[in-house]
Structure formats: structure tokens, C-alpha cells
Amino acid sequence: MSIDTLVDAAPDSHGHRLRLRWSSGRRDLVPAIWLRDNCHCPACQDAGSGQRLIDITQVPPHTTIEQCRLDASGITLRFAPERHQTRFDSAWLQRLVAGETPLPTGDRWDAGLDPALRTDTYPALKQDSKRLKRWLGWVRDSGFACLTQVPAEDGALLELVALFGYVRETNYGRFFDVKAVADPINLAYTGLGLPVHTDNPYRDPVPGLQILHCLHSDTEGGDSVLCDGFAVADWLRTEHPDAFELLTRTPVPFRFRDANSDLRHRAPLIELDAEDRLSTVRYNNRSVDTAAMAMDDLGRFYDAYRLFAAALQDARWQIQFKMGSGDLFMVDNRRVLHGRTAYQGAGTRHLQGGYADLDGLHSRLRILEQSGQP
């Protein structure tokens, strides 16, 4: 943020708003009620935790600014009708009016991305917080990152998760084995190829992070595939805006069922946030429920669904690599889809997987970034 000094501050004629003028030429009109609600005097904000002590219902609705004094480091204000006095530093005010810095929207990638550029070693991450910061930054900005030299031991991925957050336990366990078994409850536990997909779209909320760790693999096939769902959604938005729009507003029923679980969630394949930015891509051909969808637009929905699915599976968007013992990848499961090619015949393949929350990763990353290390 630029260094801007406050050159003028005065209430408007009714005192409903404060006019700010900055040395850069920037002007702000700040509502009195907002300033009052954000008062950080010790009566309004707890000095230790920084949490707000007052509630909006305690603030008079017709709050105005009856006095404003500007000095070298900030402003002193008095609010009517409470006659409540407060002080705001210019630097603090500048942050307040600039608003929350949104999470970066991240980069976008396609088949041209070499996964080696998003790969580090596990010992490096454990020893060096700068390397951990870089690795977590890859997950935030590119939606995935890879590791080598993760000990091929039962539950090793839990130790990795502890470096940045908390495990999200599910019906599959705190972590789970991914290998071909007799009578599988999930097609992941076979040698079938899995087209790129979102894990657990039948869960609300969908797990933010998915980790897969290879303990052993000497089969033919079983290569890992990743695809940037946001890159594909961006393409759809530009090239086929009607299809894109339909996918953002058609709820799709997802379901997983076994002897102990009946998980269901209805949500669109492409979800936008309140500012129309991509927030979640959900795609998992195995888990779309047969429950009836609204029939009106179903034909058009299927055209859009097919278009999006084909793009997600187009080699142009996919990176492919083979994991060996000790290799691991972690994906932002709301953005990056993962899959595997089929395997069969001689050899065995044993992966372990698990989930974690994305907000914990973002929090850890901010703390690492604030620690001031380059």
C-alpha cells in the first residue's frame, strides 16, 4: 500500500459522512455510522484480543460526527448523540478505507506447467519455514503442490497436515488407504482409472484440501493427473457464457452411500462468490445422484455439462506424473481436480489420503508472511 498522508478531514453538512482528502489526491466519503462501529477505544474494542465489545444495536441509528480535528498523525472525532470521542491514526484509517485485501485470485495453468516447479522435499519443509511458506503459497496460488521424501509410513500425511492446519476427519477416517481391495465401497479402492474429479462433492462443505501420499507403487499405469478447474471454468466463461451461466445456477445432487453413510449435497458444478469470482468447481462423474433435477432446462444443462466435462478431460488442461514411494501431492479440492490412469496386472499400489481445511492453510500462511522473513 502506498504511503499516503491525510491532508484534510471534515464532516459533511449534516455530519453523516466524513470527507477525507489524501496527499495522493484520493478522496473518501466515509459514513459516520461505519466509523462509530469501528471505534477502537478501550470501551468499544478489547485491547488484548482486538475483538469488538459493542454491538450495532447499541449504536444510535442517526449517529453523526459533530466534531473533527486533524493533526499530524490522525484525527480525533466526536460522535453525536452519544458525545462519544475517539481517535483514528491516519495509517489505520487508510487501511480501513482501502478495505480488506482479497485473497489473490491465483494464477491459472494448463498442460504446459511442469509439476517440478511446484515440488519441494519434505525434510526442507520441516526444517525451513521459508520453504514451508513457499510450498503453502503454491497451494494457495496454483491450487496444488507436490512433495518428495515423505517417509513411506502409515499416517505420515498427518504429520504434514500438522505443519499448517488440522485434519478434516470423515467417514473414511482421519486418513485412508487407497488400494485395490475386494468388495470396494468406493471405486477409488479399485484399479479403475478415475477421470479428474473433486473429492467428496456429496459433503457440505466440500473438503478444502485433499492429500494423496504414495507408500508404494510398482504397477503399470496408475499415473496421477491434475487439472486446474478454475482455468477451465474461465475458458468456459469466455467461450460459452450461456453454458457457464447455466452451470453456476443449476443445483446438481451428489450422493455417497454405503452401509454406514448416506451423504448428500446439492450444489452447482461451478460456484461463484458474492463478487462473481470463481469459488468452487465440483465435478465427479461417479457421485452425481440419480435424484430428479428440475426438468425444464435439463437438455440444455446436459449440453453444458458435457462441454465442461470434455474440457476438464482435455489433455490441453492436464498435467500427468507418476508418484513413487515417498511422493505426495496436495490439492485445493475446490479448484484443482485430480484423477489417475487405470492400473492392473503385476505389482501393487498403495496410497494414503486425507483431507484438511483450506482456511487453516490461509491462516498459517498469513502468520508466516507476517513473521517478516523474506
Classify residue 106 as left (phi > 0), alpha (psi -120 to 50) or beta: left
Partners of 281 in beta bridges: 270
Cβ distance to ligand OGA smaller for residue 244 or 343 = 343
Rounded to whole angstroms, the maximal C-alpha distance in the chain is: 83
Amino acid at 365: L
Closest CA to 215 of 353, 37, 373, 351: 351
Position among 224, 248, 250, 313 found at the interface with ligand OGA (CB under 6 A): 224
Min dist CB 280 to ligand OGA, Å, is 17
The candidate with the shortest Cα–Cα distance to 162, out of 122, 206, 199, is 122
Of the pair 191, 253, the CB lying nearest ligand OGA is at 191
Which parts of 270-299 interact with ligand NM2 (CB under 6 A)? Answer: 287
E-state strands within 122-162: 144-148
Least distance from C-beta 176 to ligand OGA, angstroms? 8
Query: Are the C-beta atoms of residues 277 and 313 closer than 8 Å to each other?
Result: no
Task: Determine if 222 is a binding residue for ligand NM2 (CB under 6 A).
Answer: no
The interface mask with ligand NM2, positions 4-43, x = CB under 6 A, is ----------------------------------------
DSSP string, 173-223: BSSEEES--SS-SSGGGSSS-EEEE-S-TTSSSPPSEEEEEEEEE-SEE--
Q: Does 178 bind ligand NM2 (CB under 6 A)?
A: yes
Number of residues that bind Zn ion (CB under 5 A): 6
Q: Work out how close the CB of 79 gets to Zn ion at its nearest, in angstroms, rounded to a whole number.
A: 9
CB 137 to ligand OGA: min, Å: 24
Does 312 participate in binding ligand OGA (rule CB under 6 A)?
A: no
Q: Which is nearer to Zn ion, 22 or 283 (CB)?
A: 283
Query: Looking at 199, 228, 327, 332, which residue binds Zn ion (CB under 5 A)?
Result: 199
66 to each of 30, 44, 117, 355, how far by Cα in Å?
14, 19, 58, 53
Binding partner of 117, given Zn ion, ligand OGA, ligand NM2, none, CB within 5-8 angstroms per partner class = none
* Length, in residues, of the chain: 374
The one among 120, 199, 228, 332 contacting ligand OGA by CB under 6 A: 199
Within a 13 Å sphere around the CA of 342, how many CA atoms are in the beta-carbon half? 4
Choice from 353, 358, 361, 365 touching ligand NM2 (CB under 6 A): 353
Query: Are the C-beta atoms of residues 284 and 199 closer than 8 Å to each other?
Result: yes
**Nearest distance from residue 294's CB to ligand NM2, in Å?**
25
State the nearest-atom distance from the C-beta of 164 to ligand OGA, in Å.
21
Q: Which three cell numbers stand for residue 77?
A: 472525532
84 vs 133, beta carbon nearer Zn ion: 84
Q: What does the alpha-carbon distance between residue 337 and residue 225 come to, in Å, rounded to a whole number? A: 8
What is the residue type of 151? Answer: P
For residue 254, what is its C-alpha cell?
Answer: 451428489
List the x/- string, 323-352, binding to ligand OGA by CB under 6 A.
---------------x-x----------x-
Asked if 130 contacts 317 with a C-beta cutoff of 8 angstroms, the reply is no
Q: Output Rg (C-alpha) for the chain, integer angstroms.
A: 26
- Among ligand NM2, ligand OGA, Zn ion, none, partner that 340 touches (CB below 5 to 8 angstroms by kind): ligand OGA
CB of 2 to Zn ion, least distance (A): 28
| Binding of Zn ion by 44 (CB under 5 A) | yes
The residues that touch ligand OGA, with contacts defined as CB under 6 A, are 178, 188, 194, 199, 212, 224, 338, 340, 351, 353
The residues that touch ligand NM2, with contacts defined as CB under 6 A, are 172, 176, 178, 186, 188, 199-200, 256, 287, 353
